[in-house]
Each structure stands twice: as C-alpha cells, then as structure tokens.
A and B are shown apart, each in its own frame.
Chain A
Amino acid sequence: MSDQDHRSPPASPIVPPGNIAGQAMALVVAIMSFLACLTVGGVSLVGQSAATWQSQISREATVQIRPARDFDIETALAEAQAIAADYEGVRSARIIGREETLGLLEPWLGSGLGLDELPVPRLVVITIDETAPPDFAAMRAAITEAVPNATLDDHRAWVGRLVAMARTTTLAGLAVLALVMAALVMTVVFATRGALAGNHEVIEVLHFVGARAGFIARQFERRFLVIGLQGAAAGGAAAVAVFLVTGFWASRNLTSAENEQLSAFFGDFSMGAIAYVGVALVVVLVGALTMVTTRVTVLRVLYEIDEKRADPSL
C-alpha cells in the first residue's frame, strides 16, 4: 500500500465541531451583548444630551423688569442694558421689544391687547461668554441699585437643577450598565461552562492519553473564543444597526413641532463615538471572558480528575 492510497481527509479538530450547545451559547451571548451595547449607547446619549443642555442654558442670562405706576419702563430697560453690556464676559445685551414680548405672550393672552393696558414685565436678554462668565453678583447689585424693579436671573438655579438631573440620570444609566455588564459576564461564564459540559468525555480521554493540561485548555480556548466572538459580534452589529436606524429616523421625523421637545432633550439622536467604542469594548470583553472561563473550567475539570478519590472523606 502506498502512502497515496490512504491519504486521509484533513484532520478533525480535537474539540468536536459546532454542536447544539455551541449554537445556544452563541445565541445567548449575542442577546446579552446586544442589550449591553444598547445600554452603553443609551448612557452615552444621556451624557451627551446633559452636556448640551448645560452649555445651552448657561449661555444666557435675563434681566426682568416689573412695571409699576409712574415708572418709565423703557428708560429702565435701556439703563439695565447699558449696565449689563459694560461687564466683561457679556457678549451682547438685547431688549426684547414690545412687539416681541407681545408675540411671546400671544399664545396665553390672545392678540389685540395693548401692552400698555397690562402690567407686563419686560426682559433684557444677556448673552454670555461661557468660557469667561461675568461677575453676576456685582452685576446684580449694580442693576438693582439703578433699577429697583429689576431682577437678574443668571439661570444658575436652572443650570444647577439640570446638572443635578443629568448627573442622576447618568449615574442611573451607569448603574444599569453595571448590572447589564455583570449579567453579561455571568451569562458568558455560564454559557461557556454549559457548552463545555458536553465535552467532559473529550477532556478525560485527552487526559488519559497523556496530553498536558495546557494543550487541552488551548484546544478548547480556540473553539470557544470563536463561538463567543461570533455571538458578541452579532449582538454588537445589531446594536449598531439600531443606533443608525434611530439616528436616521430622528433626522427624518424630528422636524415636526411635537418632536422638537424630544430633540431638545436628546439632541439629534445621533450616537457619539463613545457608543461605538463601547460596542467594540463589549465584543473584546466577551472574547476575553470566554477564553478565561474556558481555560479555568478545563483546568478545573482536569484538577478534579487528578484529585479524584474513591473515598471523599479523606
């Protein structure tokens, strides 16, 4: 018989190829990775929006002047505007004119009302250089001294509340993320162990024909790394698809009035780079976890075989 006659087909892998347990593991890992990636995306969206609110709102301050009897509100407005515009860190100070104020109030009061007939407060809108804000305390003192009816609102209360809210939301998001990641870790560990359970026989046989522990562990690591990465990549890809679809949908639909509130809260729904980096990290994490779990599990099975005693009381 020549060597050609019994040339066998390429060698089978030492670990049995894709079985039901492997598919189940890939599916479970895919679902958990998908949820983890969505959470990462959600948290990054909230963080991003919070930063936007904060900078938009702290870009402005307003002076409000209440009308009173025998009080020339126009002069007072001009005076307040002049004082504010003098401060360093103020980009501009603009008086909201009669017509504009009327326009602002129209939805509530209806049209056809003379402003003179109603004691309506008037506003000076101050635009601020965010990077070097003016000394609000000094400005407030100067304005109220000149115009006792005026109050300066630097929106600090709003900003404070928003920052607190954004922080709470981000913290809550991070807590959810931590829980989801913990669940992901456990799922990967259990799915890997479950898929390995059907391979005890293989581990045992390799062991008794003299394979070293490292050799056995390597065979399984390779196979399970592939399964884990397939699952994680599928889950990550699905999450990225969701990000892209919501971003596209938002850009198409967020022009109608009711959606302006939505976009005011969440920006344009487009995911920042952080979300995509997060997805990549989830995939890498899952890969690393499957490898480590496989190694630890295989080595423990081998340890148990070696330490097996007929009499456990010893």
Chain B
Amino acid sequence: MLAQAQKAIRERCGLIRFDNVGLRYGLEPEVLSDVSFHIPAQSFQFLTGPSGAGKTSLLRLLFMSLRPTRGQITLFGKDVLSLDRREMPMLRRRIGVVFQDFRLLSHMTIFENVALPLRVRGKEVASYRRDVSELLDWVGLGDKLNALPPVLSGGEKQRVAIARALIDQPEILLADEPTGNVDPPMARRLLRLFIELNRSGTAVVIATHDLGLMEQVDARRMILSNGHLDVFG
C-alpha cells in the first residue's frame, strides 16, 4: 500500500519538483526567484541560459549541495527541507552528478575515480572491474585506466567525470557543461552516450550554453534568465 502510494506521488511529481524556489547569496538580489518545474522520470532536458544566470546554482539545489532561500524542493517524493541528514546518502546514490570543475581525486587512478561510487557502496573490485573498464572504453579512455587525473587533458578529465556519474546507473543524471572542454565530434559522442543512458531509463538534465549541442536533440529546454525559468516542450 505504502509503496504504491509513494509510486503514485512520484509519478505525479516526477523525480524532482520545485515549487516557487528562490535563492540568493548573502544580501545580493535573488539569483533564482519563483522557480517552479518538475522533472519527470526518464525525461531528457537541457538547462540553459547566459553565463551567470544560475545554472550551476540550480543544479546544486538539485543534488542537495545548497539549500534554497525559500520555496519547496521535492526529491523522489521527499521534502528536502525536512529531510533527515542520514537519509541524504541514499538519495544521493540515485543521482549522478558531473561537476563543472570535475572534482576528480588526484591521488587515485582513472579506474579508481570512476569506481569510487561503487566502492563507497561497499562493492568488491572483482564485481565491477569489467563494468568500469567497459565504460571507460566507451568514453575513449580504455588505454588510460591507470593514469592519474593531473596528467589528463581537460576533455579527458571531463569524460572521467561523466563515467563516474554514470557508473552506478543513477535514476537521474545532472551534468554541468559536460561538453565544455571537448571538440564537436567528442561532444556528439558524449551526447549520444547521454541519449542512450536516457533510453535505458535515466532522467537527464544537461546544463549548457552550447547551442550546437542542443540543436542535435529535440528535448525539453529549461531556459534561465534574470532569475526566472521558462520551460519549453
């Protein structure tokens, strides 16, 4: 019964729901004001807007790295503001994040960086070695498993960060400028990876101001400007 009720709520609200969310840093004017939207399960959308519009800030609200100044955020059917801290790790495990600045651990090899989400879930290397290698092959880094992040190019780091976000097949993927450091062919390839991931059931949110990238897919567009969000499609 309870499980069914929760499922019904989730279907109605989507995976994530924002209601009149406002965000300001210190005493500055609001970066986001009255932002309301929802992200349905298995959906695909771009989040766009000029630099400084608040894309990264919005994504941070989405993965609980920041709390809103006002409004309500519902994540997997749970109100984030009243959420118990001990529940957060379990919710975060259902979200994959590609940070704009990658956040790779420089003392670990590429393989270990990508495997980190599985390691913190208590899985054994033997159980995921194949998956990690295959994913790294897919993003074109199959020959760099044992390299350390500091020796990689920006685009290579980006692909490692993407692989780390995808490795545990999250229910939703949040990617902040995931094609910002790669050439157009690699960007197309990564986009195809995201689309494939989406087909297998993961909701995808890609923050970008790369118009060329957005033209390749007919997807929802969430456009931020002057603190307001407009959703198309």
Residues of A within 8 A of B67 (CB): 307-310
Q: Mark A264-297, 1 if CB is under 8 A from B, else 0.
A: 0000000000000000000000000000000000
Residues of A within 8 A of B107 (CB): 12, 16-17
Residues of A within 8 A of B23 (CB): 310-311
- The number of residues on chain A lying at the interface, defined by a beta carbon within 8 Å of a beta carbon of chain B, is 34
Q: Is B121 an interface residue, CB under 8 A from the partner?
A: yes
Q: Is A8 an interface residue, CB under 8 A from the partner?
A: yes
Q: Is B63 an interface residue, CB under 8 A from the partner?
A: yes
**Complex contact A209–B24 (CB within 8 A):** no
Q: Is B100 an interface residue, CB under 8 A from the partner?
A: no
Residues of A within 8 A of B133 (CB): 1, 6
User: Chain A: interface secondary structure?
Assistant: loop
Q: Is B189 an interface residue, CB under 8 A from the partner?
A: no
Residues of B within 8 A of A212 (CB): 89, 120
Residues of B within 8 A of A204 (CB): 103
**Complex contact B93–A8 (CB within 8 A):** no
**Complex contact B129–A3 (CB within 8 A):** yes
Q: Mark B22-39, 1 if CB is under 8 A from A, else 0.
A: 011111000100000000
8 Å CB interface, A8-55 against B: 8-9, 11-12, 14, 16-17
The distance from the CB of B199 to the nearest CB of chain A, in whole angstroms, is: 24
Q: Which of B68, B108, B120 contacts A215 (CB 8 A)?
A: B120
Q: Which of B31, B112, B120 contacts A209 (CB 8 A)?
A: B120
Residues of B within 8 A of A313 (CB): 26-27
What is the size category of the interface that chain B forms with chain A? 35 or more
Residues of B within 8 A of A248 (CB): none
**Complex contact A205–B69 (CB within 8 A):** no
Residues of A within 8 A of B105 (CB): 16, 201-202, 205
**Complex contact A206–B120 (CB within 8 A):** yes
Residues of A within 8 A of B90 (CB): 210
Q: Known A204-B103, A303-B85, A310-B25; judge A210-B145 contact (CB<8 A).
A: no
**Complex contact B125–A11 (CB within 8 A):** yes
Most buried by B among A6, A210, A312, A313: A210
Q: Is B43 an interface residue, CB under 8 A from the partner?
A: no
Q: Known A210-B93, A211-B89; judge A314-B69 contact (CB<8 A).
A: yes
Q: Is B146 an interface residue, CB under 8 A from the partner?
A: yes
Q: Is A306 an interface residue, CB under 8 A from the partner?
A: yes
Q: Is B192 an interface residue, CB under 8 A from the partner?
A: no
Q: Is A175 an interface residue, CB under 8 A from the partner?
A: no
**Complex contact B64–A306 (CB within 8 A):** yes
Residues of B within 8 A of A16 (CB): 105, 107
Q: Is A108 an interface residue, CB under 8 A from the partner?
A: no
The distance from the CB of A82 to the nearest CB of chain B, in whole angstroms, is: 87
Residues of A within 8 A of B119 (CB): 11, 14
- What separation, in Å, do the CA atoms of A276 and B23 have in the docked complex? 60
8 Å CB interface, A118-153 against B: none
The distance from the CB of A14 to the nearest CB of chain B, in whole angstroms, is: 7
Residues of A within 8 A of B26 (CB): 310-313
8 Å CB interface, B156-203 against A: 164
Q: Is A71 an interface residue, CB under 8 A from the partner?
A: no
The distance from the CB of B135 to the nearest CB of chain A, in whole angstroms, is: 13
**Complex contact A8–B146 (CB within 8 A):** yes
The distance from the CB of A60 to the nearest CB of chain B, in whole angstroms, is: 71
- What separation, in Å, do the CA atoms of A306 and B86 have in the docked complex? 10
Q: Mark B52-92, 1 if CB is under 8 A from A, else 0.
A: 00000100000111111100000000000000011011101
Q: Is B109 an interface residue, CB under 8 A from the partner?
A: yes
Q: Known A6-B129, A211-B120; judge A309-B89 contact (CB<8 A).
A: no
Residues of B within 8 A of A11 (CB): 112, 119, 125
Q: Known A6-B133, A8-B109, A306-B88; judge A210-B69 contact (CB<8 A).
A: no
Q: Is B116 an interface residue, CB under 8 A from the partner?
A: yes
- What separation, in Å, do the CA atoms of A213 and B92 have in the docked complex? 13
Residues of B within 8 A of A309 (CB): 66-67, 69
The distance from the CB of A9 to the nearest CB of chain B, in whole angstroms, is: 7
Q: Mark B98-116, 1 if CB is under 8 A from A, else 0.
A: 0000011101110110001
The distance from the CB of A300 to the nearest CB of chain B, in whole angstroms, is: 12
- What separation, in Å, do the CA atoms of A236 and B40 have in the docked complex? 62
Q: Which residues of B does A touch, CB under 8 Å? A: 23-27, 31, 57, 63-69, 85-86, 88-90, 92-93, 97, 103-105, 107-109, 111-112, 116-117, 119-121, 125, 129-130, 133, 145-146, 164
In the A-B complex, the 10 residue pairs with the smallest Cβ-Cβ separation, listed nearest first, are A210-B93, A211-B120, A16-B107, A209-B117, A210-B92, A311-B69, A310-B25, A309-B67, A212-B89, A12-B108
Q: Other CB < 8 Å A-B pairs besides A9-B146, A210-B92, A311-B23, 9 of them?
A: A8-B125, A16-B107, A204-B103, A210-B117, A210-B121, A306-B85, A306-B88, A310-B67, A310-B69
Q: Which residues of A does B touch, CB under 8 Å? A: 1, 3, 6, 8-9, 11-12, 14, 16-17, 201-202, 204-213, 215, 303, 305-314
A-B contact pairs, 7 of them (CB 8 A): A8-B129, A16-B105, A202-B105, A205-B116, A309-B67, A310-B31, A311-B69
